[in-house]
């Protein structure tokens, strides 16, 4: 299939919409649930996940396994709050999404998202994200690694449609986060200032 260059930038968004639609259409709709903060100890599955995902330090390995870059580097320079979800000042980096991994059950070795930091002319693996749309969560906030996923929250436009309410958990395996391994934004991760692919989020949800 040939894709016109003018449409290429929309490809990650289209893949996301198609993937979510396929999952949602095959899953019953349930009531939304409010997530809670977990106080459980981190799971031993963390080391299993870190080891299994280390191969994705090469972004091309991620692409070969079905992950597609969403292109934008998500930045929260002043932080923000979305409902019950707090985003301290920091960044989330560049997300590589694998729609085949989206479903009601979470696998420590198959995150829905890989997170990269742009460093010079390279993308450096920083963490991973486990992501569950509200429609397939079964009315209960999902858990993994002894943690309850944050949410439900709106989708982060322009990376995903705002109507895509979901739960998620960021895990910073390879980029130390001063606010904790499971905090959504990482103050140590930097997006390229002035880059057309740096998308800044703030209290008004505008981006530039």
User: d(Cα 154, Cα 135) in Å, to the nearest integer?
Assistant: 13
Over 90: is that where the pLDDT of 148 sits? yes
Decide if 127 is inside a domain. Answer: yes
Structural domains in the chain (count): 1
Decide if 113 is inside a domain. Answer: yes
Q: Which of 69, 88, 86, 70 is nearest to 78 (CA)?
A: 88
Over 80: is that where the pLDDT of 142 sits? yes
pLDDT at 190: 97
Decide if 205 is inside a domain. Answer: no
Over 80: is that where the pLDDT of 11 sits? no
The model's pLDDT over 53-94, given as tens digits with 9 standing for 90+, comes to 999 999 999 999 999 999 999 999 999 887 778 899 999 999
DSSP state, 192? P
132 - beta bridge partners? 167
Name the pLDDT band for 144 (thresholds 50, 70, 90): very high
pLDDT at 208: 36
pTM summary value:
0.79
Q: Which of 172, 175, 208, 205 is nearest to 81 (CA)?
A: 205
The model's pLDDT over 175-204, given as tens digits with 9 standing for 90+, comes to 999 999 999 999 999 999 889 999 998 875
- Whether 33 and 152 have beta carbons less than 8 Å apart is answered as yes
103 - beta bridge partners? none
Q: 159 or 179, which is more confident?
A: 179
Decide if 208 is inside a domain. Answer: no
Decide if 207 is inside a domain. Answer: no
Decide if 152 is inside a domain. Answer: yes
Q: Where are the beta strands (DSSP E) in the chain?
A: 68-76, 80-82, 85-87, 90-97, 113-119, 122-133, 143-144, 147-148, 150-153, 166-171, 198-200
| Mean pLDDT, rounded, for 26-43 | 40
In this prediction, what percent of the chain has a pLDDT beyond 90?
61
Reading the block at residue 92, the tokens are 């989330």
Q: 207 or 142, which is more confident?
A: 142
Listed in sequence order, the DSSP H helices in 54-156 are 59-64
Over 90: is that where the pLDDT of 109 sits? yes
**Domain of 145, in residue numbers:** 5-200
Distances (CA, A) of 102 to 23, 113, 134, 185, 199: 7, 10, 11, 22, 24
Decide if 146 is inside a domain. Answer: yes
110 - beta bridge partners? none
């Amino acid at each position: 299939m040939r894709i016109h260059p003018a449409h290429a930038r929309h490809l990650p968004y289209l893949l996301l919409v198609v993937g979510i639609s396929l999952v949602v259409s095959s899953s019953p709709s349930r009531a939304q649930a409010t997530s809670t903060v977990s106080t459980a100890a981190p799971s031993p599955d963390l080391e299993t996940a870190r080891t299994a995902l280390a191969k994705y330090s090469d972004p091309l390995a991620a692409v070969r396994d079905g992950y597609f870059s969403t292109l934008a580097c998500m930045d929260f320079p002043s932080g923000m709050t979305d409902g019950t979800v707090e985003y301290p000042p920091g960044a989330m980096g560049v997300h590589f999404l694998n729609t085949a991994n989206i479903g009601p059950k979470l696998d420590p070795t198959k995150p829905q998202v890989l997170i990269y930091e742009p460093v010079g002319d390279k993308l450096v693996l920083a963490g991973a994200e486990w992501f569950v749309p509200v429609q397939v969560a079964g009315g209960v906030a999902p858990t993994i690694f002894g943690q309850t996923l944050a949410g439900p929250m709106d989708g982060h436009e322009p990376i995903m449609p705002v109507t895509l309410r979901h739960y998620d958990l960021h895990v910073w395996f390879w980029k130390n986060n001063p606010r904790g391994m499971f905090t959504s934004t990482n103050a140590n991760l930097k997006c390229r200032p002035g880059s057309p692919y740096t998308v800044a989020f703030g209290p008004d949800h505008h981006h530039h």
